[in-house]
Amino acid sequence: MENKTLSTGAKALEVNLDALRYGSFAEIGAGQEVVRWFFRVGGAAGTIAKSISAYDMKISDDIYGKAARYVSRERLEDMLELEYDLNVECLKERSDNTAFFAFANTVSARNYHGTNECHGWLGIRFQTEPHAAPSEIIVHVRMLDHENSLQQEALGIIGVNLIYGAFHLSHSTDMLVKSLLDNLTVDRIEVDMIDFHGDAFMHVDNRVISLRLVQLGLSDAAMFSADGKVLQPSEHLRKKNILVERGRFRPVTHVNIDMLNAARKQFEAEDNSDPQETLSIMEITMHNLRDDNDSVDLEDFISRIEVLEATGHTVMISDYPEYYRLATYLSRYTNRRIGMTMGAHSLIELFNDQYYSALHGGILEGFGRLFKNNVKLYIYPFKDAATNTLFKVENLNVDPKQKYLYEYLKQADHIQQIEAFNEDYLHIFSPDVLKKITSNENGWENLVPEVVAEKIKAQQLFGYKPAD
């Protein structure tokens, strides 16, 4: 059954006919579209202990407690906890033969005027077998249909996919993730966060799951914190100033950290906002993760993520090779300032016409998209070893065809030179450091932050092998 895509109705019926599963459904927003599938295919009495929809905020608060935001992970987890605990407490007499579950969602579907963010949180807390400790799957989705009725339909389908996957595909989280869009398309639903935890997922690395979301096209970007927890972009980026450094980070070097810290110092000095209002992100594109065979080396991916997390930064994986697409994505979630820091070499590449071949308006359209949302570039210099020349914004040699465009962007303050850089670091290049690590040459530790060197040695990352 796992090798073919079942219809949504077939999945719901299979769950209904499974005598082991019994639980409740709690849905807020967009109707009760998930539980409706289980009612209409027949056999629902064998599955559904309760169905509830607490639409009124006061009623919702009375049942689940007060929430700062009603369409949030906080509210979803309150719903799951209460409904699951009620099942276990009220249905003790059948606990020897029943694996209990609670499914919940809290959703903001398209309103009448079409002015709201259309998204939702879905989750399931479930036992894999009677008396087992509960495991949990939390999902955040963006609904992309332009009609409320179609969003409701899509929500119902992905809810059934999540429930079926929890019961039948928990042994393979990769198959479970892929199945979330069964009978749907990425044009209708975006899954930008999924979090597995509990005994059924003891060996699951949610960072790898985040990568798979982007790799499979379920989402264009995924985020996780310095402690490895997956983050939902709209909640984490909301009302923040954002500063991003893009790189390969194989490994993180002194240059990477100096670039971000120096850019942040200038970025924060430009307004009077509290430093806590600015979020620094280290971002890797899928293009920089794929090898020559268009696949991703998971060991290499984990090595990069481990050293990034060691530096205490939020990490983003994106499928946006173009900077203007990344800027558009970030501006979806914040109306505050956005900064991007890059090396001078990367700035030169940004003025390459071929970079914008997919746009009808070419390079002018690309820069228009990049800078329209209060975006500024902060440029880190490089030093030519042969001539000892320091190249900065004022003396870069961009394509002569783009000279006037470059001068305009400088004068408009869209491109700014990083001033407080450490010139002692300019000789450091990540590929050289990586070669030293893999060949176990002395001195590579001096080229990376101390916490990165300790992490590489302790976990033998990037092919590091201690000397005999």
The beta strands (E) that lie in 18-82 are given as 21-28, 48-52
Look at residue 1 in the predicted model and tell me its pLDDT: 44
- Segments of the chain with pLDDT less than 50: 1-2
Domain 235-425 in the same topology as domain 8-204: no
Q: How far is CA 69 from CA 22, 107, 445, in A?
A: 29, 11, 46
**pTM greater than 0.85 (yes/no):** yes
What pLDDT is attached to residue 234? Answer: 85
Domain ranges of the chain: 8-204, 235-425
- Enumerate residues 6+ apart whose C-beta is below 8 A from 266: 378, 416, 418, 419, 420
8-204 sits in which CATH class? alpha beta
pLDDT of 468: 67
Residue in the structure block whose two tokens are 């996919």: 161
Is domain 235-425 in CATH 3.40.50, yes or no? yes
pLDDT at 19: 95
CA distances from 274 to 182, 237, 255, 268 (A): 44, 15, 26, 8
pLDDT at 113: 78
Predicted confidence at residue 421, as pLDDT, reads 95
Given a contact cutoff of 8 angstroms between Cβ atoms, the answer to whether 318 and 220 are in contact is yes
* pLDDT value of position 274: 85
Query: What is the per-residue pLDDT for 26?
Result: 97
pLDDT for residue 3: 56
d(CA 300, CA 434): 12
Burial-class residue 175 by CB neighbours within 10 Å (0-12, 13-18, 19+).
middle
Residue 69 pLDDT: 87
What does the alpha-carbon distance between residue 60 and residue 49 come to, in Å, rounded to a whole number?
A: 19
